[in-house]
Structure 1
Amino acid sequence: MSDQQVRQPWVVGVSGASGTPYAASVIRGLLAAGEAVDLVVSRAARLTILDETGISFRDAHWREDLAEWTGVDALDGVRYWAAGDFAAGPSSGSYPAKGMLVVPATTGAVAGIALGLSKDLLQRAASVTLKERRPLVVCVRETPLNGVTLRHLVELDAQGAVVLPASPGFYAGGSTARELVDFVAGRVLDAVGVRHTLYRRWEGELGGAVKAPGRAE
């Protein structure tokens, strides 16, 4: 296989924080951009997906469950790795991943990554991403934040990660939960240079909410 044919995926790690729709939107955005995706869903995230969507995400039926969760049927660009599989590709620095997006990130995942604990494949893959100097985005979804978590986030920033709170902007005119979710997902993709059309960008003038598609002038 030539270098041009080597699959170079973005690793998407989904932890157990509330906000699994952010992950679904990021995955949709990556696939729409023609990017390959390696997916890692933590055990706690499965419970959150079930609670937030009613979908029981199963290792053995991940393709079927992912299609239902994301609304995307064409999943040829996706590879799934079980959270307990430490022999998985993303656990090694020689695996040709482009980088990793942890979305949403629990404070526990933030701590584990910052401290290099590698308690599961998600944390291990993030640690590998840092040591290989590849892009790592940590989309933390928690509020308020205590001093311990803030110190962990500062440590991640010092190690080169992008700390991206799941905090939507309202200037784009988003009026539905899906639009606000897509804004955050779009900012995650912006952080790693993946082109998308998930939200209306700021154009240097006021009134964006009024001018958004579907809004009356």
Structure 2
Amino acid sequence: MAQVTTARVPWVLGITGASGTPYAAAVLRGLLDAGQPVDLVVSQAARLTMLDETGWTFREATWRSDMERFIGREVADMVAWKAGDFTAGPASGSYQTRGMIIVPATTAVVAGVATGISKDLIQRAADVTLKERRPLVLVPRETPLRTATLRQMADLSAEGAIILPASPGFYAGAKDVDELVDFVAAKVLDVLGVPHELSRRWTGQLGVTSAADPE
């Protein structure tokens, strides 16, 4: 599935089986629109969730066309790795990446990364990202959260990971669900320093007052 060059330094995008695969599609679109190369890892559970939530499938033999349908546009600089392939590039610290995003992130993956289990390529790549001191963003969607999961998230945050819950804001005047999804994707790209135009930014209300407002 994978063909890479030594000059290429991608973001690793892991998609796991939590509900919220449209968030992954929005982040992927944002990265590709910004001209960023992407290494993709889709877990087996994520394939089932993707089918259930979007109606699209992901198969190794047709992964490129499957992903193009998933995100609604042509896939440019992207490589796909098998979730069970521990010989893949992102499994090694000597494989250069810009960092990693796991979106959506299951609580099981949060636990696996926090404890260093590395049961599949997504968890191993996240472990490598942390040990190499590269940016790692996890986007959990599940709610409510167990105390154990909160502690694991705190541990990951202490190691430098960014825990970015899929919590869309409503102040940007979203008109539909897609805009709320883009809001979360925009937050992900912001913390990675990737430019985008996915959501309207808050600019404040300087100079706007009301007669009822106190001076």
Aligned to 2:121: 121
Asked if 1 retains the 8 angstrom alpha-carbon contact of 2:24 and 2:103, the reply is: yes
Asked if 1 retains the 8 angstrom alpha-carbon contact of 2:18 and 2:106, the reply is: yes
Aligned to 2:76: 76
Q: Which structure 2 residues correspond to residues 17-96 of structure 1 after superposition, within 5 A?
A: 17-73=18-74, 75-96=75-96
CA–CA distance in structure 2, aligned partners of residues 146 and 123 of structure 1: 20
CA–CA distance in structure 1, aligned partners of residues 61 and 41 of structure 2: 13
Q: Give the partner amino acid of 1:146.
A: R
After the TM superposition, which segments of 4 or more aligned residues of structure 1 sit over 4 Å from their partners?
Answer: none
CA–CA distance in structure 2, aligned partners of residues 67 and 8 of structure 1: 21
Q: Secondary structure at the match of 2:76?
A: coil
Number of matched residues? 201
Q: With structure 1 as the length reference, what TM-score do the two structures score? A: 0.91
Q: Is residue 201 of structure 1 aligned with residue 195 of structure 2? A: no
Q: Secondary structure at the match of 2:39?
A: strand
Q: Secondary structure at the match of 1:60?
A: helix
Alignment deviations for residues 3-58 of structure 1 (CA, whole Å, 9 cap, x no partner): xx711100000010000000000000000000000000011000000100111211
Q: Give the partner amino acid of 2:15.
A: V
Q: Is residue 171 of structure 1 aligned with residue 171 of structure 2? A: yes
Aligned to 1:99: 99
Gaps of 5+ in 1: 207-217
In terms of Rg, which structure is larger? 2
CA–CA distance in structure 1, aligned partners of residues 45 and 112 of structure 2: 14
Give the RMSD, CA atoms, in angstroms.
1.0
Q: Give the partner amino acid of 2:62.
A: H
Asked if 1 retains the 8 angstrom alpha-carbon contact of 2:10 and 2:98, the reply is: yes
Q: Secondary structure at the match of 1:203?
A: coil
Asked if 1 retains the 8 angstrom alpha-carbon contact of 2:32 and 2:76, the reply is: no
Gaps of 5+ in 2: 1-5, 207-215
Alignment deviations for residues 88-113 of structure 1 (CA, whole Å, 9 cap, x no partner): 00000011100000000000010001
Q: How far does residue 205 in structure 1 lie from its aligned partner after superposition? A: 2.0
Alignment deviations for residues 111-156 of structure 1 (CA, whole Å, 9 cap, x no partner): 0011110000000000000000000000011100010100110011
CA–CA distance in structure 2, aligned partners of residues 32 and 200 of structure 1: 17
Q: Give the partner amino acid of 1:133.
A: R
CA–CA distance in structure 2, aligned partners of residues 102 and 172 of structure 1: 25
